[in-house]
Amino acid sequence: MTTYKVLIVEDSPTMRQLIVFALKRLRGLQIVEANDGVDGLKKLSTEKFDLILTDINMPIMDGLKLVSLVRNDPSYKEVPIVIITTEGANEDRERALALGANEYITKPIQTTKIIEAATRLLGL
17 CB-near residues (< 8 Å, 6+ apart): none
Verify binding: residue 108, another protein, rule CB under 8 A.
yes
Determine which residue in the list 6, 22, 52, 56 makes contact with another protein, applying CB under 8 A: 22
Determine which residue in the list 48, 89, 91, 123 makes contact with another protein, applying CB under 8 A: 89
> Which of the 8 DSSP states describes residue 35?
S
Interface with another protein in residues 26-65 (CB under 8 A): none
- What are phi and psi for residue 86, nearest 5 degrees? -85, -15
C-alpha span between 91 and 109 (Å, rounded) = 20
- Work out how close the CB of 64 gets to another protein at its nearest, in angstroms, rounded to a whole number: 18
Q: In one letter, which amino acid is 44?
A: L
Binding site for another protein (CB under 8 A): 12-15, 17-18, 21-22, 86, 88-89, 106-109, 111-112
